[in-house]
Amino acid sequence: MKTVLLTLTAAAVLSGSALAAPVKLGTLPVTVEPSTRLLMLNAEGIARAFPSAAGRPDAVFLTEDRKVSVAFEWREGRLTPAQVPDLVAQFPAVLRAQVPNIKTLKANLLEIGGTPWAQFVFTTPGQGDDLRRELLMTSAGGRILVVTVAGNVKDYSRNEAVIRTLINNVRLA
């Protein structure tokens, strides 16, 4: 993750330095109302930060300090709205199997903009500070929409208000 954030900072290819009006995220069935305290990577910046097309998100926001990223990815896998609560029960085992050294893991069912979302917040050891990841997953157009919030615990804490505002303003189109 540290490498990704350093790459994001090095790439610093942004589409505008700050956004405030509602934004449709490319081909994603998503509209967000980003804060002026968030930066949005353009396609070139995303490609530099995520060189592998297989794991490349569709849209990425960064906090002003470029320490926490919020990535949006519309995956090919199928998911219906009725299946979202099942993720809360089933996905923690998948995370524990795929992510080494998980220290903490919380799974919840949330409602954002009238849509059910599965939320997984977990920490892993990092150099100097634990790494914090939050995965939010829902059904969008019958596919899986994943929002990943990534950063160190301290960096997330400093930027929590702006990130929560962004997440709470996600609307499915």
Token digits of residue 6: 């350093």
Contact between 81 and 115 (Cβ < 8 Å) = yes
- pLDDT digits 0-9 by tens, 118-134: 999 999 999 999 999 99
Which CATH number is 80's domain given?
3.40.1000.10
Say how many domains are in the chain. Answer: 1
Distances (CA, A) of 94 to 4, 14, 91, 102, 120: 23, 34, 5, 12, 11
pLDDT of 28 over the 90 cut:
yes
Work out the mean pLDDT of the chain and round it to a whole number.
88
- Which residue range is the domain that position 54 belongs to? 2-172
pLDDT, one tens digit per residue, over 42-61 is: 999 999 988 988 889 999 99
147-162 residue pLDDT tens: 999 999 999 999 999 9
